[in-house]
Structures are given as structure tokens and as C-alpha cells.
């Protein structure tokens, strides 16, 4: 795994893989959090190249400390756009999927929904999409979904995710080409409870295989 500084990336998997998945972190944890690292490494084992990056506010938090809150969506989307352009210029012969954990995945969908969305976006992968704040299912974050109907999307979601689980997500109007992959008993980090008899490692291995099959079928 290598680290570069401008922009700041973590890279896993074969550099010449057919697909490169550019992943953004969630609102509160950085790109090298345990769950992001585990997912990136599991994807690398499936032959997918992964480029993780940090939004500017998280990079500032890393350098200066403190609990700096996320920037507003326009700034996050701008960061996404610049990151994708930088990665695409570095790997011109690969196909690109974008996505991320929670907020990072949501910002990827917002970027793809823009009228001038970057052309390298071949697919989207969300990991724990925040359909609504916990306990507030009336505050849905799906208004932009109709603009994504032409884009292949894999939405990896825990069945008991408080941001949108098996009890509510199937009733939502999802993008036309969206596929849901349910992580059995998974929470917002896609982690099952011990009582389920499943481990977090098993869940991540399974979702990595699902992502590999999804991208391999496009």
C-alpha cells in the first residue's frame, strides 16, 4: 500500500486491474479507518484496484487535530470531482467506479447526478448509504435518484442499518439500475452482531465478492 501527498491517496490492489474503485470515507472516520482498510484490502484480493481519498476537512483534521465537521455538500462534491480527475489522469486505461462509506457514497451519487457529471464514472458503489438520519425516516436523501437511472449502482446495506435497513429501504424508489446487496444483520459499518453467528470479516469478504461480480458484469 502506498501513500501520495498531492492529492492524498491510499492505494490497494493491482495497478493494472480492469476496474478502479475510488472510495471516499464517511463523515466521522478517515480513509484509513479499520472498516475502510478492511474493505479496500478485501477488494484488492478480488482483483479490484482501490484508491481511497480524504475530503479537505478530514485532511485538515488529520494534520491539525480536533473534531472539524464535514464541509457542506457543494465543497465535498467539488473535492470528489477533483479527485476523480486526478486519479483518471494517473490511470488512463482503467474503468472507474466511484463510491464510499455513508456520506462519501452519498456525495458520489450527488456528483454522478449532476448534469455535467465527469465522463469516467462507469458505476457507483455505496457502502451503508445514509437514506435518512437515524430515527427520522421522513427526512429522505433520495431526491436526486431519478437523475441516476442510467448509471449502474450497487448499494451495499446492512439489514439493521439505522440510516436505512431492510424494514424501510425496499419501499423507496431507487435508481433504475440500482442493485441492493444486503449484509445480513449488518449495522451502519456493515458489522453483524456476535449472536448472528457471523463475523465482520465474513461480511466484508462477501460484500467484496458482490462488488467484484457487479463490476465484472458491466
User: Count of CB atoms within 10 A of residue 95's CB?
Assistant: 16
Which ranges in the chain belong to alpha helices (H)?
Answer: 34-45, 56-64, 73-90, 103-113, 200-216
Angle at 125 (CA atoms; ends 50, 14), nearest 5 degrees = 20
Phi-psi region of 191 (alpha: psi -120 to 50; beta: other; left: phi over 0): beta
Range in 25-29, 37-41, 66-70 with the lowest mean pLDDT: 66-70
15 burial via Cβ count (<10 Å: 0-12, 13-18, 19+) = exposed
What number of CA atoms fall less than 13 Å from residue 110's CA on the CB side? 24
Average pLDDT, the chain: 94
Angle at 83 (CA atoms; ends 81, 88), nearest 5 degrees = 95
- Full set of structural domains in the chain with CATH: 2-216 (3.40.50.1820)
- The predicted structure's pLDDT at residue 66: 78
140-186 tens-digit pLDDT:
999 999 999 999 999 999 999 999 999 999 999 999 999 999 999 99
Mean pLDDT of 196-217: 97
Mean pLDDT of 57-75: 88
CB 153 within 8 A of CB 109: yes
Decide if pLDDT at 2 tops 70.
Answer: no
- The predicted structure's pLDDT at residue 5: 39
Q: Which three cell numbers stand for residue 153?
A: 449502482
Return d(Cα 105, Cα 42) in angstroms, integer.
18
Decide if pLDDT at 25 tops 60.
Answer: yes
- The predicted structure's pLDDT at residue 68: 80
- Bridging pattern class, strands 121-127 and 95-101: parallel
Q: What is the pTM of this model?
A: 0.94
85-136 tens-digit pLDDT:
999 999 999 999 999 999 999 999 999 999 999 999 999 999 999 999 999 9
Angle at 193 (CA atoms; ends 156, 51), nearest 5 degrees = 35
Amino acid at each position: 500500500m502506498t501513500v501520495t501527498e498531492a492529492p492524498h491517496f491510499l492505494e490497494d490492489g493491482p495497478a493494472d486491474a480492469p476496474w478502479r474503485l475510488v472510495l471516499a470515507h464517511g463523515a466521522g472516520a478517515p480513509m484509513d479507518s479499520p472498516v475502510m482498510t478492511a474493505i479496500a484490502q478485501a477488494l484488492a484480493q478480488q482483483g479490484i484496484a482501490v484508491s481511497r481519498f480524504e475530503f479537505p476537512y478530514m485532511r485538515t483534521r488529520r494534520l491539525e487535530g480536533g473534531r472539524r465537521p464535514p464541509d457542506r455538500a457543494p465543497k465535498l462534491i467539488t473535492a470528489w470531482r477533483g479527485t476523480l480527475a486526478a486519479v483518471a489522469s494517473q490511470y488512463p486505461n482503467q474503468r472507474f467506479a466511484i463510491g464510499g462509506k455513508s456520506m462519501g457514497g452519498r456525495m458520489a451519487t450527488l456528483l454522478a447526478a449532476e448534469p455535467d457529471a465527469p465522463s469516467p464514472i462507469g458505476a457507483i458503489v455505496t457502502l451503508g448509504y445514509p437514506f435518512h438520519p437515524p430515527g427520522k425516516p421522513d427526512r429522505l436523501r433520495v431526491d436526486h435518484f431519478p437523475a441516476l437511472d442510467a448509471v449502474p449502482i450497487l448499494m451495499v446495506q446492512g439489514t439493521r442499518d439505522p440510516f436505512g435497513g431492510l424494514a424501510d429501504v425496499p419501499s423507496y424508489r431507487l435508481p433504475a439500475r440500482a442493485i441492493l446487496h444486503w449484509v445480513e444483520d449488518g449495522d451502519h459499518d456493515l458489522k453483524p452482531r456476535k449472536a448472528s453467528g457471523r463475523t465482520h470479516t465474513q461480511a466484508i469478504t462477501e460484500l467484496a465478492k458482490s462488488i467484484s461480480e457487479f463490476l465484472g458484469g458491466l
